[in-house]
Amino acid sequence: VFAVVTPLLVHGPGGETVASVFILLSLLIVLMFQMVLLTKDGQTFGKKALGIRIVKMNTGENGGFVPNVLLRLIANGLIGIIPFYGLVDILFIFRSDRRCIHA
């Protein structure tokens, strides 16, 4: 959608502003949708396609909004500043319990 709509908006009157607003609104809609999916099921479309979901380690239940959305955004945002953290975090899925560092 972005590849088709954004260039069309840029070439119209006030195009750069309109395109910027379109992109910002689209990103906000996607972010809100992802937050609802994580809160409700512990899964995004990507997690669902891979057959994984976020659950509480001790009960296996869905964590809800605070652990699934807020804590992950804050923790990953702060820890993500560390160089190579993302690469090391991903490699931890090869452990026996298949959990990343941030989980």
Distance CA 89, CA 92 (A): 6
Domain boundaries, the chain: 1-53, 55-103
Handedness of CA 12, 13, 16, 19 (dihedral sign): negative
For residue 14, what pLDDT band results from cuts at 50, 70 and 90?
Answer: confident
Q: How far apart are alpha carbons 7 and 76 in whole angstroms?
A: 33
* 85-103 pLDDT per residue, tens: 888 888 988 988 888 776 5
pLDDT at 32: 92
Residue 71: the pLDDT is 84
Given a cut of 70, whether residue 81 has pLDDT beyond it is yes
Q: How confident is the model at residue 42 (pLDDT cuts 50, 70, 90)?
A: very high
For CA atoms 51, 55, 60, 62, the dihedral sign is negative
pTM of the model: 0.68
